[in-house]
Amino acid sequence: MTDSKDTTAGPRDVLARYQQASIDKALDVMVDLYAEDAVHEFPFSRPGMPSELRGREEIRAFLEAGWRDGPLRYDSYGDVVVRETTDPEVIVVEQFAVGFSNVTGRDFVLPNIVVLTVRDGRIVHFKDYVNVLAAGEALGMALPS
């Protein structure tokens, strides 16, 4: 694994690298953005999806499986709004991912909100409020009536 750690990188820099690694499906680059003991949470997880990943290796395994077998491809991020907090290590991000679903054969837009905490250039906590209804639709799941 390459060590792309930049201890001066703040949350905005790390966010930009995270978004690009997601688009590129650059597993080593993505995993290296996380601290060894990082936590990645999905507060609105759906059945069959973990609500929390603990540590870099658990995050790696989750991403590797999802990117290898996953039917969604991210092409870009749009309407990215970054809100500063009183803590310089924490930002709140409103954004949506735009991509293509191999399941539905259609483009998708996946809104989410992220609370990102970066310390010493690495993600220590990533709270990922993904829109599970939009994700389900992109995955070809029927929406509840």
Residue among 66, 47, 41 nearest 136 (CA): 47
Q: Give every CB contact of residue 26 below 8 A, 6+ residues apart in sequence.
A: 20
pLDDT at 70: 85
CA distances from 63 to 26, 84, 105, 144 (A): 10, 27, 22, 27
Euclidean distance between CA atoms 130 and 75, whole angstroms: 17
Give the model's pLDDT for residue 45: 85
pLDDT in the model for residue 2: 45
Q: What is the mean pLDDT of each run of 10 residues along the chain (145 residues)?
A: 65 98 96 98 87 97 90 96 98 97 95 97 97 89 73
- pLDDT one-digit tens code per residue, 3-26: 555 678 999 999 999 999 999 999
The pLDDT value recorded for residue 1 is: 44
Specify the pTM.
Answer: 0.90
Domains along the sequence of the chain with CATH: 11-138 (3.10.450.50)
Q: What is the pLDDT of residue 12?
A: 97
Q: What is the pLDDT of residue 6?
A: 67
Backbone phi and psi for residue 90, each to the nearest 5 degrees, phi listed first: -120, 135
